[in-house]
Structure 1
Amino acid sequence: MTRLLRVELRRLFSRRLVVLTMVGTLAVSLLLLWGVWESSQPMSEAELASAEQMYQQELEYWEEHGEADRAQCLEDEAAEAERTGEEVDWGCESMTGPEREWYVTTAPPLQESLPFTLAAMSTLVLFASGLIGATFTAAELSTGAMSTWLSFEPRRLRVFASKMSAAALGVVPAAALAVAVVVAGSSLIANHLDLAAGMGAAQWGDTAWMALRILGLAALGALVGGALGFLLRHTAAVLGLVVVAFIVEQMVRGLVPRTAPWAPSVNVEGWVQHGTVYYLEECTSDASGMMCDYTERALSFGHSATYLLVLTSVVVTLAAIAFRRRDAV
């Protein structure tokens, strides 16, 4: 099995599309760093002057009309409460004058921006890993090379296991390099612009764990892509299925929002971010009509991890059964 794995790893890195996908992933990670650089830039002198002018204008208006506007708001609020016979709160008491921070924006510190950058990177890594796994297995089936290979090693499950293991292991170095580039580049940019002061041991520890989860996601993506390659036999068919599945997921979530905990994309987010949240619209009816509000629901990392591991196991098992029982390869 070890010999087969070494052979499959060499075959993996000999495929041009695999190498191009890995290089493309690294190139996109550099583009992400360009976006980080742009979003980390402070406001220019002209932008600061314009923001200050807007702030002063709003402050002058508030000093002249603010108390009257708040009094009018309270009066209208009381009138509405009297008309409906219910308690009404329009937030009049919280009406205050403008603050300079509303107009003068600052770049987010590294401890806030880095998790979002890595989350964006994880989507790219997942797609690239799935594509590598799919083309690695589907190409040999569609070209007939698998038949030749089985004449040397007829034990199909060993061939299947070696190819799937090679796909999962082979994507990890490329994913690790891309993640390392993003983390190191974001850190250098933040240090250059004095945005890294808040990164302590706890924040770097969280970053390290997030990076490891992304590497695990890459391995899972390669396994699923490789399994779908065995099932569908064509890389284009795998890509088409992924696109259709994503569209169907979005439609189902739009029609039935309570299915969010079982949506693959939500659980991928929960895996990468060690738990996530989703929102459900809840509506109530009374004498004044229907009122709707969005409530936040938590999705734990344990739920997402179990979901993805079970989903991957099911797809891989189906692929192994299909490859084992298929008469013509």
Structure 2
Amino acid sequence: MTRLLLVELSRFRTRRSIALLVLGTVLAAALVAGLTAYQTRPLTQDERVDAQAQVDLAGRDPQVRAEVRACREAPTDYLGPEAEPADCTSALLPAADSFYPREAMDPAVVREGRGVQVGLLVAGLLIVAGSTFAGGDWGSGSMATQLLFEGRRRRVWLAKAGAVVLGCAATALVALAAFWAVLLLVARARGVEVSGGELSDVALQVGRGVALSAAAGLGAFALTMVFRHTVATLALLFVYAVGGEVAVSLLPVDGAGRWAVGTNAVGWLRTDHTYDDPSATCSLLGRCSQLQVLTHTEAVLFLGALLALACVVSLAWFSRRDM
């Protein structure tokens, strides 16, 4: 079995289309890292001066000045029982940072934003890799030849699946590690402090991203072993991802948004995922709470059940179906 797995790993590594996808995945992650670094670059002196000028301009507005004067005369009416007249200016006038054209780099914000996006991007590209790996064997007719040398179909399926999982996991690890290495180096160069707890959260997200990518590649491989065509698999996944999200949102079922694949994928990558679910039931007071919380356990159970179903069906189908 080990020898067969090594053969399939070599096949995965040397296939040109997969090599291009792997390279594209790493480059895409690096590109997103560079874009993130650029969009969070430090402010120039001119931008700070311009922001302060906008604050001064807002302070000259007659209506705003009237509000400040009224607040100083009765600060408790405006700002609460412990307010002082001196608090009115800072409370009613915008601060300079509200006019800044961009936010400074914050690793926690990046992790919950771009970190999740790049994790989904990597998983999406590796879906294509997993499907291409199986589809190439069926399209070239080499699957029948391979079964002449190894007639036990389950061993062949498991070896190929193992190669996909290892290949996708290694690619995702390199891509996500490169993404965060670039950003952490940029943060250090800018003097942004990154705590040990934040580094631990980043490492955990990278691990979850690697697991998601490996599972996504395996799921695509399993489906392609059933359909025997890459395009059919990718079309099905596209329809399921897009049409399924719409269908779930229209279902007259309480909490139907919980069963959307996209919601669960994001919930798996984010530290704390809160999503909007229009199908959520109203409380007894008649106030609808559409914001729902999705834990990592709930997300992985749902995604794992879908993956297990695809693998069981694929293995059974491949074991019995004629070539």
State the TM-score, normalized to the length of structure 2: 0.85
Structure 2 contact 21–129 (Cα < 8 Å) conserved: yes
Question: Aligned pair count?
Answer: 298
Q: Does 1:311 align with 2:303?
A: no
Aligned partner of 1:202 in structure 2 is 197
Q: If each structure's strand is expressed as a fraction of its own residues, which one has the higher value?
A: 1
| Letter aligned with residue 127 of structure 1 | G
| Letter aligned with residue 108 of structure 1 | M
Show the 5 A alignment for 1:1-329: 1-61=1-61, 63-66=64-67, 96-104=92-100, 106-195=103-192, 197=193, 199-256=194-251, 258-281=255-278, 295-327=290-322, 329=323
Structure 2 contact 105–187 (Cα < 8 Å) conserved: no
Structure 2 contact 275–293 (Cα < 8 Å) conserved: yes
The one-character-per-residue Cα deviations of 1:48-107 (angstroms, maximum 9, x if unpaired) are 23222221111222552325898xxxxxxxxxxxxxxxxxxxxxxxx8332223223541
**What RMSD, in angstroms, separates the aligned Cα atoms of the two structures?**
2.5
Structure 1 contact 227–315 (Cα < 8 Å) conserved: yes
Contiguous gaps of at least 5 residues in structure 2 = 72-90
- SS at 1:163's partner residue? helix
- SS at 1:107's partner residue? coil
State the TM-score, normalized to the length of structure 1: 0.83
- SS at 1:297's partner residue? strand
- SS at 1:277's partner residue? strand
Q: Percent identity?
A: 25
Alpha-carbon distance between aligned partners in 2 of 1:43 and 1:294, rounded to the nearest angstrom: 39
Structure 1 contact 40–193 (Cα < 8 Å) conserved: no
- SS at 1:43's partner residue? coil
Alpha-carbon distance between aligned partners in 1 of 2:58 and 2:179, rounded to the nearest angstrom: 40
The 3 A distance-change label for structure 1 pair 206 and 54 is same
Aligned partner of 1:87 in structure 2 is none
TM-superposed CA distance for 1:111, in Å, is 3.1
| Letter aligned with residue 278 of structure 1 | Y
Contiguous gaps of at least 5 residues in structure 1 = 71-94, 285-290
Alpha-carbon distance between aligned partners in 2 of 1:241 and 1:31, rounded to the nearest angstrom: 29
| Letter aligned with residue 163 of structure 1 | K
TM-superposed CA distance for 1:275, in Å, is 4.4
The 3 A distance-change label for structure 1 pair 280 and 96 is farther
